[in-house]
Amino acid sequence: MALMKPKTSLSLALLLGTALSLGSVASALSLSDPKVYTVPGANTRVAAFLPGGQVAVNADNGVLILDQNLKTVRSWYTLPDEVTGLVSSPNGARVAAMTSSRWAVWDAVTGREVRGGQSVYDTRLGFDAQGELLLQDDGTLYRVNIASGQRQEVLGDGELYDMAVSPDGTLLVALYEDRVELVRLSSGEVLAKAPVEGEPYEVAATFAPSGEAAVVRLDEQALVLRAGQAPTALEDGEDLSQRGSVVFLNPQQFVYALYGDGQLYDAQSGKMVGDPLEFDSAGPLVAGPDGTVLALGRAVGRLSTANLSAPARPQVNLPSSNALVGAFVGGVPHAGVAEFINLKTGTALNVGSRGTLWAAEATGDSVWTLGGVTVNVYRAGKITRVGTLDEDAEYETLRATPGGQFAAASGYYGAALLDGRSGKVLGKVTETQLKVEDIHGALPTLDGKGLIITPHEGDPFRYDLASKKRATVFKLPAEAEVYDLHQSPGGTLAVLYGTEDDDRVALVKPGATTAFKTLTFPGSVRALRFSPDGKLLAVLTGDAQNALQVYDTATGAVLARAGSFSLRTSLLVWNPGGTELLVGSGLLGQSGSATVYTVRK
């Protein structure tokens, strides 16, 4: 695999300058030499077909143009966060995409960005038949001149909820508070309309390959809008999710698919045809010209309307823009979407969980993994299987002590304390025994005798498994909610909690219940980790320019800031020596899945 070669960021000087500008305290520490690694497994949710057999797809925050063999011929990684909308002009000259924070239009031949802007709550994109950009902004649809940026109002007048444009740019489905309409874009003529049920705020529309018609899915109904005809309700239309896909096999029939299951429909009557169907591809399906279909998800493959149940061929795994799990093993960074890949060699490491990975925690020399009710711990090349847990607790989180010996698995209905060296379950407790509504998280105590519980409501507390006694570890401010807890080797507790205005991290000394220092963040905090010696606290935030921040544990002073990342991520790992930090995202502007910083003191 040639993907593992690290790419040193061109913004190294900027990152160093940012760290040095933090003052005399910050000069003692820097985050430098960011190396970006790439692993496969991008999440692809949207696609648009271009002439000549090419197709534009998203790969997390990236936008890629693939050829007929699904080889990448062009890519852009300039949009922050996951791409949620993607369209191409009818002639294929331009590609436009959007995320929750920004939208952009590119020249598909030169790769140059020709127009862009900030996304708002209802931003939607499309192209008309002449290749002009259509932009929904604050309830109004505008036609935007690419060269000048000038806007011309098309429809909506502030009342438009959502819209979808046909691939050829001739038709539009417009959703309003009380109705949904099929509109001819060239004239603005309403060709068909229907009243809406419930309170839908989004519309999913798939246009028929010929004729002026579209299958429309709303929150509580699904129907066919056809020019000059009354709307046709689909059988069991209230069950057709907007997350599903509609593929026309021909003008008379279409298939609805969701997670590998589907149903054939008659487009004229709206009735189901035949028995339910099963597909090899469980992700979204997007239909293109001449019967071609693209299967999306963690892989991208080609299908045909002639046989949607066949395996997708060819099929590719696109580079991911983030990593969900990661660890330093033998001093080498490992990361991936669902497995621990050696970022130097590209080889996956068996840490004990081969199936679905629910949670993972790397600390000290140990890698803990949770898959269903099975917990494994990997240490020094050996896998220890900890006793199987019960299903009643619905375990989904995993936290370990700094040294890696003890771990806590928790779910809404219970928590368990585990010993990785003996492979034993040391004790369990349920939410009923604790007399709490739900359990939102659990930490093992450093001595391995109890758990620090985060309840659904109220203060986090220590629970001793032997005595069953409990003691508050932090007095939570009114109207605040605990998101996460971490503990340093010396016992300092970092409590991440949210208020109405911001996220905060309280630093609490052993035995205290109030913070000696509170760090305040105007945006969201995604992750926090103490360094192996406990002297530093790394915090991963939602800041657009300096998402990774390192603080002095004793004083709460910020020592270094760096990183403009492609995706928001919760993966943050120190190496055992405290000299490197692994962040589970690439750097904005380039392909990459994980970034490793050198921590220089």
Average pLDDT (31-58) is 97
Q: Give the per-residue pLDDT at 548.
A: 98
How many Cβ atoms from other residues are within 10 Å of residue 356's Cβ? 9
State pLDDT tens for residues 435-447.
999 999 999 999 9
Kindly indicate the confidence band of residue 7, based on its pLDDT and cuts at 50, 70 and 90: very low
Rounded distance between C-alpha atoms, residue 503 and residue 541, angstroms: 10
Q: Which residues of 180-208 are buried (b: 16+ CB within 10 A; e: fewer)?
A: bbbbebeeeeebbbbebeeebeebbbbbb
Burial of 7 from C-beta contacts in 10 A (0-12 / 13-18 / 19+)? middle
Rounded distance between C-alpha atoms, residue 520 and residue 409, angstroms: 29
State pLDDT tens for residues 63-85.
999 999 999 999 999 999 999 99
* Residue of 9 and 353 predicted with greater confidence: 353
Q: Give the per-residue pLDDT at 355.
A: 72
Q: Give the per-residue pLDDT at 387.
A: 78
- Whole-number average pLDDT of the chain: 94
Percent of residues, the chain, with pLDDT higher than 70: 96
* Residue of 353 and 165 predicted with greater confidence: 165
Which CATH number describes the domain made up of 47-240?
2.130.10.10
State pLDDT tens for residues 115-138.
999 999 999 999 999 999 999 999
Q: Does 21 score more than 90 pLDDT?
A: no
Kindly indicate the confidence band of residue 272, based on its pLDDT and cuts at 50, 70 and 90: very high
Terminal-to-terminal C-alpha distance of the chain = 34
Degrees to nearest 5, angle at CA 276 with 180 and 227: 25
Tell me the three state secondary structure of residue 20.
helix
Q: Give the per-residue pLDDT at 249.
A: 95
Kindly indicate the confidence band of residue 2, based on its pLDDT and cuts at 50, 70 and 90: very low
State pLDDT tens for residues 540-592.
999 999 999 999 999 999 999 999 999 989 999 999 999 999 999 999 999 99
> Which residues does 109 contact at the CB level (< 8 Å), separation at least 6?
93
**Looking at 196-299, which runs of residues are DSSP E strands?**
204-207, 213-217, 222-226, 232-233, 245-250, 253-258, 261-266, 272-278, 285-287, 292-295
State pLDDT tens for residues 359-385.
999 998 899 999 989 999 999 999 999
348: nearest Cα among 335, 331, 364: 335
CB 386 within 8 A of CB 406: no
Average pLDDT (469-495) is 97
Kindly indicate the confidence band of residue 214, based on its pLDDT and cuts at 50, 70 and 90: very high
The CATH-assigned architecture of domain 243-316 is Beta Barrel (2.40)
Rounded distance between C-alpha atoms, residue 322 and residue 327, angstroms: 14
Which 8-state DSSP code applies to residue 587?
Answer: B
Domain ranges of the chain: 47-240, 243-316
